[in-house]
């Protein structure tokens, strides 16, 4: 928690930077930056594994956030669209509408933000499609990578200049 001299204690519970969670040598949650507050309800979308396992959700919950995932039928919809369409470059309005319906049901359960926890989701749904906070993890990872590459703490680019 941070404290601001004029505002007193902040209710901000997580500002993740440079997070690295790995399994089998693959980094699933690496350099994600999220700006969320204690008690905030966020929807997590991704592959079935991301939505059903704890590697992503647990970190958010441990920080005091409430994480909602789609029900079993909606998890199947989200997962199947990723693997049967999005990974093949197929993006349809019908699938976008199905995702937006899933997000709508999560909003009904209190979600005030949605985490696109799979890179392909951003091909289908972006911040322009929803009326709530949207966390596009692909973009967040890319921004973090650029920041690290240009930072003075990176031995490859110690002077902050790309080579």
Question: Parallel, antiparallel, or unpaired: how do β-strands 26-30 and 20-23 relate?
Answer: antiparallel
Report how many domains make up the chain. 1
Q: Is residue 31 part of a domain?
A: no
Residue 88 tokens, joined: 């093949």
Task: Walk along the chain (163 residues) and give the pLDDT tens digit of each residue.
Answer: 333 333 434 454 545 554 554 433 333 444 344 566 788 899 999 999 999 998 888 877 887 889 999 999 999 999 999 999 999 999 999 999 999 999 999 999 999 999 999 989 999 999 999 999 898 877 766 666 666 666 655 555 544 444 4
In angstroms, rounded to a whole number, what is the distance separating the alpha carbons of residues 85 and 91?
Answer: 7
Q: Is residue 21 part of a domain?
A: no
Q: Is residue 162 part of a domain?
A: no
Sheet holding 66-68, edge to edge: 66-68, 41-45, 113-116, 133-136
Domain that holds residue 45: 40-145
Contact 144, 32 (CB under 8 A): yes
Q: Is residue 157 part of a domain?
A: no
What CATH number is given to the structural domain containing 105? 3.40.50.1860
Q: Is residue 103 part of a domain?
A: yes
Q: Is residue 8 part of a domain?
A: no
Q: Is residue 33 part of a domain?
A: no
């Amino acid at each position: 928690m941070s404290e601001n001299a004029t505002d007193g204690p902040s209710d901000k519970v997580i500002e993740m930077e440079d997070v690295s969670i790995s399994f089998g040598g693959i980094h699933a949650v690496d350099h994600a930056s999220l700006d969320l507050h204690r008690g905030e309800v966020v929807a997590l979308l991704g592959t079935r594994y991301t939505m059903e396992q704890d590697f992503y959700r647990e970190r958010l919950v441990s920080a005091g956030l409430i994480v909602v995932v789609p029900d079993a039928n909606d998890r199947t919809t989200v997962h199947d669209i990723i693997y049967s369409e999005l990974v093949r470059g197929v993006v349809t309005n019908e699938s976008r509408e199905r995702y937006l319906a899933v997000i709508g049901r999560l909003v009904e359960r209190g979600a005030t933000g949605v985490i696109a926890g799979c890179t392909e989701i951003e091909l289908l749904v972006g911040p322009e499609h929803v009326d709530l906070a949207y966390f596009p993890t692909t973009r967040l990872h890319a921004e973090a990578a650029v920041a690290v590459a240009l930072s003075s703490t990176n031995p490859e680019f110690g002077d902050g200049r790309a080579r």
